[in-house]
């Protein structure tokens, strides 16, 4: 069964709570989403493997630790996932970026695919799928399925706010994918929005609506 980690870092909790406020405008919302993504990336990469590397400082030779193992990729689910990309790259600048375009049909709440462009060597990378919201889980389950169909084997999922319904669905459909959550909320409402949530993440990031 996958690991589910709800972030307990005070900075993450503070920033997530701050952006829930309805009066926070797009500029501030976008900036703080980026900061949260960077902090979550820091927490979610704690177990990356290191290797000994010999280097020479201006003083002497030494053996230090650097990242080893798989190269990384960040794959945002469009649109709202785009808001997390720069924050992720501020921590892991060498990562490549793929894009998966999905939107939730407003009637059925099922994800509709409209775009997929991934790094050519994505199947050799450890992929972080990012999306601020995990509601029914339809979008993240579908995005991860698309990655698996392209041969990607090592996938983690990061979201800022999750509903228990979405976490349960993800664990059922993708038990191999670890999930990192900024805040775990109460439930979904009748329109499948997260309660208390923060509203529509895409609209708040891009100022639409
Ligand atoms: C939002 C959000 C997720 C999805 C979550 O995207 O960013 O992708 O809904 O809901 P789910 O877990 O029930 O699938 P939306 O479809 O509103 O598209 P957008 O990012 O383009 O606004
Ligand atoms: N998508 C969002 O942006 N917000 C929700 O609460 C649910 C889905």
Residue 209, in any domain of the structure:
no
Closest CA to 41 of 95, 89, 100: 89
Percent of the chain with pLDDT over 90: 96
- Domain tally, the chain: 1
- Residue pair 76/34 in contact (Cβ under 8 Å)? The answer is no
Q: Is 166 in the pocket of ligand 1 (CB under 6 A)?
A: yes
Residue 194, in any domain of the structure:
yes
Lowest mean pLDDT among 67-71, 113-117, 158-162: 67-71
Residue 86, in any domain of the structure:
yes
The predicted pLDDT at position 2 comes to 85
Task: Tell me the pLDDT of the chain averaged across its residues.
Answer: 97
**Partners of 5 in the beta sheet?**
180
Residue 148, in any domain of the structure:
yes
Q: Is 200 in the pocket of ligand 2 (CB under 6 A)?
A: yes
pLDDT at 43 over 80: yes
DSSP H helices, the chain, are 10-20, 26-44, 85-91, 138-149, 164-173, 201-206
45 tagged catalytic:
no
pLDDT band at 69 (very low <50, low <70, confident <90, very high): confident
Atom from ligand 1 closest to the CA of residue 206: 22
104 tagged catalytic:
yes
pLDDT digits (tens, 9 = 90+) for 135-171: 999 999 999 999 999 999 999 999 999 999 999 999 9
Q: Which residue minimizes the CA distance to atom 1 of ligand 2?
A: 200
DSSP 8-state code for residue 147: H
Task: Kindly calculate the radius of gyration of the chain based on its CA atoms and give it in whole angstroms.
Answer: 18
Closest CA to 156 of 15, 46, 35, 16: 46
pLDDT at 191 over 90: yes
pLDDT at 25 over 90: yes
What CATH number is attached to the domain comprising 96? Answer: 3.40.50.2020
pLDDT at 1 over 90: no
pLDDT digits (tens, 9 = 90+) for 76-89: 999 999 999 999 99
pLDDT at 101 over 80: yes
- Give the separation between CA 172 and CA 141, rounded to whole angstroms: 10
The count of C-alpha atoms lying within 13 angstroms of the C-alpha of 163, restricted to the half-sphere facing its C-beta, is 21
Residue 79, in any domain of the structure:
yes
Residue 55, in any domain of the structure:
yes
pLDDT at 18 over 90: yes
Domain residues for 131?
2-204
CB atoms within 10 A of CB 61: 8
| Structure token pair of residue 35 | 């900061």
Residue 99, in any domain of the structure:
yes
Contacts of 135 (CB under 8 A, 6+ apart): 104, 163, 165, 166, 188, 192, 193, 194
The predicted pLDDT at position 70 comes to 81
Q: Is 76 in the pocket of ligand 1 (CB under 6 A)?
A: no
């Amino acid at each position: 069964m996958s690991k589910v980690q709800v972030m307990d870092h005070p900075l993450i909790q503070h920033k997530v709570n701050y952006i829930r406020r309805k009066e926070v405008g797009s500029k501030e919302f976008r900036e703080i989403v980026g900061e949260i993504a960077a902090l979550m990336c820091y927490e979610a990469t704690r177990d990356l493997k290191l290797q000994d590397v010999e280097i020479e400082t201006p003083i002497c030779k030494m053996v230090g630790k650097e990242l080893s193992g798989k190269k990384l990729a960040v794959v945002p689910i469009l649109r709202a996932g785009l808001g997390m990309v720069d924050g992720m790259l501020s921590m892991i600048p060498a990562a490549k970026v793929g894009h998966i375009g999905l939107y939730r049909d407003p009637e059925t709440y099922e994800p509709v695919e409209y775009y997929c462009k991934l790094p050519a060597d994505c199947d050799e990378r450890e992929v972080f799928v990012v999306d601020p919201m995990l509601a029914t889980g339809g979008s993240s389950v579908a995005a991860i399925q698309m990655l698996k169909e392209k041969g990607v084997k090592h996938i983690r999922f990061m979201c800022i706010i999750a509903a228990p319904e979405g976490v349960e669905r993800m664990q059922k459909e993708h038990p191999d994918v670890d999930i990192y959550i900024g805040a775990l909320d109460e439930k979904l409402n009748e329109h499948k929005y997260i309660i208390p949530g923060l509203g529509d993440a895409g609209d708040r990031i891009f100022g639409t609506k």
